[in-house]
Amino acid sequence: MLSRFDRLEVLGASQLDLGDRTYAITPPWFPLEQLSTSIRKTGIINPLHVEPVNGGQHRIICGFRRAQAAIDAGLEDLPCWVRRKCGRSDLFVESILDNVGSRPLHELEKASAVAKLIEDFGISRQKVLEEYLPLLGIRPTAFHLQRYLDIDQLPEQLKRAMVDSRLELDTALVIAHWTQAEQQTFLGLQSHFKLNVNTQKKLTELLDELRRKTGLSATQIWEQAIGEGDPGSSKSPSAALEQALHSLLRLRMPTLSELEDQYRELKVALRLPPEVRLRPPAYFEGDRLTVSFSAASAGEFREAAERLRAAANTKEMEEIFGLL
Amino acid sequence: MKRYRPERIFIEESVRESPITRKTLRELPDVPLESIDSLAVLLRETGSLSTGSAKRYLVLAAQRGPFFEACPGGRGRLGIQNVCCNYSVINIGTNCGMDCTYCFLQSYLTNPFLIIYANCEALFGELDRVFSANPRGFFRVGTGQLADSLALDAVTGYGPLLVEFFASRTNAVLELKTKTDQVDGLLGLDHQGKTVLAWSLNPRSIQKTEELNTASIDARLSAAFRSVTAGYRVAFHFDPIVEYPGWADEYAALVAEIFRTVPARSVAWISLGGLRMTRDLKAVMQTRFPKSILPLGELVPGEDGKLRYVKPLRVEIYRRMVRWIHESAGDHVPVYLCMEKPDVWAKVFGCPAPSEKELQGMICRGL
Three-state SS for A273? Answer: coil
What ipTM goes with this model? Answer: 0.85
Mutate to test the interface with A, among B49, B282, B310 (most CBs of A within 10 A): B310
Contact A286/B50, CB-based, under 8 Å?
no
Contact (CB<8Å) A286/B341: yes
pLDDT at B154 over 60: yes
The three-state secondary structure class of A216 is: coil
Query: Is the model's pLDDT at B160 over the cut of 90?
Result: yes
User: How would you write chain B as a 3-class SS string?
Assistant: CCCCCCCEEEEEHHHCCCHHHHHHHHHCCCCCEEEECCHHHHHHHHCCCCHHHHCCEEEEECCCCCCEEECCCCCCHHHCCCCCCCEEEECCEECCCCEECCCCHHHHCCCCCEEEECCHHHHHHHHHHHHHHCCCCCEEEECCCCCCCCCCHHHHCHHHHHHHHHHCCCCEEEEEEECCCCCHHHCCCCCCCCEEEEEECCCHHHHHHHEECCCCHHHHHHHHHHHHHCCCEEEEEEEEECCCCCHHHHHHHHHHHHHHHCCHHHEEEEEEEECEECHHHHHHHHHHCCCCCHHHCCEEECCCCCEEECHHHHHHHHHHHHHHHHHHHCCCCCEEECCCCHHHHHHHHCCCCCCHHHHHHHHCCCC
Side chain identity at B96, as an amino acid letter? C
The yes or no reply on domain B64-110+120-363 and CATH 3.80.30.30 is yes
Rounded to the nearest 10 degrees, what angle do helices A88-102 and A107-119 cross at? 170
pLDDT, tens only, B315-339: 999 999 999 999 999 988 999 999 9
The minimum CA-CA distance between B143 and chain A, rounded to whole Å, is 29
Residue B2: predicted pLDDT: 76
Contact predicate B296/B358, CB 8 Å:
no
pLDDT of residue A198: 94
Give the pLDDT mean for B26-42: 87
Using DSSP's 3-state secondary structure scheme, residue A29 falls into coil
Are B235 and B270 within 8 A, CB to CB? yes
CA distance A106 to chain B (A): 23
Distance from CA of B312 to the nearest CA of A (A): 8
Identify the pLDDT of residue B190. 96
Sign of the dihedral defined by the CA atoms of residues A85, A90, A93, A98, in that order: negative
> Cα dihedral sign for B283, B285, B287, B293?
negative
Tell me what pLDDT residue A3 has: 67
Percent of all residues in chain A with a pLDDT value above 90, rounded to a whole number = 75
Chain B's closest residue to A254, CA to CA, is B298
Q: pLDDT tens digits, residue range B208-263?
A: 999 999 999 999 999 999 999 999 999 999 999 999 999 999 999 999 999 999 99
Q: What was the pLDDT predicted at A221? A: 97
A156 at interface of B, judged by CB pairs closer than 8 A = no
What confidence score (pLDDT) does residue A165 get? Answer: 74
Q: What is the mean pLDDT of chain B?
A: 92
Say yes or no to pLDDT of B112 above 80.
no
Q: Residue B58 to residues A29, B2, B118, B122: CA-CA distances in angstroms?
A: 48, 16, 12, 20
- pLDDT, average across residues B351-363: 89
Give the mean pLDDT of A12-25.
Answer: 93
Q: Where does the pLDDT of residue A230 fall: very low under 50, low under 70, confident under 90, or very high at 90 and above?
A: low
Q: Please tell me which residue of chain B has the smallest CA distance to A284.
A: B311
In the predicted structure, residue B79 carries a pLDDT above the cut 80: no
CA atoms of A171 and A189, how far apart (whole Å): 13
CB nearest to B49's CB, from A142, A254, A256: A142
How many residues in total does chain A contain?
Answer: 324
- What number is the average pLDDT over the span A166-172? 93
| Helices A254-270 and A315-323, packing angle to 10 deg | 160
How close, in Å, is residue B309 to chain A by CA atoms?
10
Average of per-residue pLDDT values in chain A:
91
What's residue B17's pLDDT? 94
* Cα distance between residue B285 and residue B288, in whole Å: 5
Of B296, B313, B341, the CB nearest to A209: B296
**pLDDT tens track for A67-86:** 999 998 888 899 999 987 67
Q: What is the pLDDT of residues B264-295, one digit of tens each?
A: 999 999 999 999 999 999 998 988 899 999 99
What predicted TM-score, i.e. pTM, was given to this entire model?
0.86
Rounded mean pLDDT, B137-141: 93
Which comes out higher in pLDDT, residue B76 or B297? Answer: B297
Chain A residues within an 8 Å CB radius of B298: 252-256
Residue A231's pLDDT band (cuts 50, 70, 90):
low
Contact: A142, B53; criterion CB under 8 Å: yes
pLDDT value at A16 more than 60: yes
Chain A: residue whose CA lies nearest to B308: A285
> Domain locations in chain B?
64-110+120-363
- The pLDDT value recorded for residue B51 is 62
Contact B105, B2 (CB under 8 A): no
The whole-number average pLDDT for the span B14-38 is: 93
Flag whether pLDDT at B146 surpasses 60: yes
Per-residue pLDDT for A175 more than 60?
Answer: yes
Could you tell me which residues come within 8 angstroms of residue A151 by beta carbon, excluding any fewer than 6 positions away?
Answer: A107, A108, A110, A111, A169, A172, A173
Closest residue, chain B, to A128 (C-alpha): B48
pLDDT tens across A255-291, in order?
999 999 999 999 999 999 998 999 999 999 999 999 9
Question: Please, which pLDDT band fits residue A166 given cuts at 50, 70 and 90?
Answer: confident
Q: Using one digit for the tens of pLDDT, what is the confidence trace for A104-124?
A: 999 999 999 999 999 999 999
pLDDT reported for residue B301: 95
Give the residue from A68, A128, A144 showing the smallest Cα distance to A92.
Answer: A128
Prior bond of B240 cis (ω within 30°)? yes
Q: Is A170 exposed, middle or buried (0-12, 13-18, 19+ CB in 10 A)?
A: middle
CB contact under 8 A, A283 and B300: yes
Please compute the mean of the pLDDT values over residues A167-184 and round it to a whole number: 95
Query: Residue B47: pLDDT band by 50, 70, 90 thresholds?
Result: low
Residue in B48, B296, B341 closest to A141 by CB: B48
Report CA B190 to chain centroid distance, whole Å. Answer: 23
Cβ separation of B290 and A177 shorter than 8 Å?
yes
A285–B311: do the CB atoms touch at under 8 Å? yes
Least Cα separation, residue B318 to chain A (angstroms): 16
pLDDT value for A233: 64
What is the band of B44 on the pLDDT scale with cuts at 50, 70, 90? Answer: low
Residue A229 has pLDDT above 80, yes or no: no
Using CA atoms, how far residue B160 sits from A257, B27, B150, B182, B187, in Å, is 52, 15, 10, 12, 9
Contact between residue A181 and residue A187 where contact means Cβ atoms under 8 Å apart? no
